[in-house]
Amino acid sequence: MDMDERIKEIAKQINFRELRMAGFKFIYDNEKLNLGVIKGAKHFIISLNVASDTYEIRKVKIRKCSIVEDTTEKNIYCDELCGKIEEYFKFEYVMRRIFN
């Protein structure tokens, strides 16, 4: 199954190439219009709310096959996604800093 164009747009907005080079993994679901960003035990699931053109972010931390953290933020705009990823994963985008 090919990735939905809207999910590809989310991937571009979060600069998935840089994240992939830093060891992040990705999963997606075309039906739910979401993209999961994973590193270690942390999962960051970005879901598109088509009606409001905003995102919902679900942050899940798994330890020993159990969910130990599960929070959701709603009404996130595309320009906030990278900052949310940096905050959650304690990650700093390098390429974004160079080109901006």
Please report the beta strands in 1-100, taking only residues with DSSP state E, as ranges in sequence order. Answer: 25-29, 34-39, 42-49, 54-63, 66-76
Domains held by the chain: number: 1
Of 14, 24, 4, 89, nearest in space to 46 by CA: 14
User: pTM higher than 0.85, yes or no?
Assistant: yes
Per-residue pLDDT of the chain in tens (100 residues, 90 and over written 9)? 688 999 999 999 999 999 999 999 999 999 999 999 999 999 999 999 999 999 999 999 999 999 999 999 999 999 999 999 999 999 998 865 555 4
* CATH number of the domain residue 64 falls in: 3.30.457
Residue-range definition of the domain harbouring residue 89:
5-99
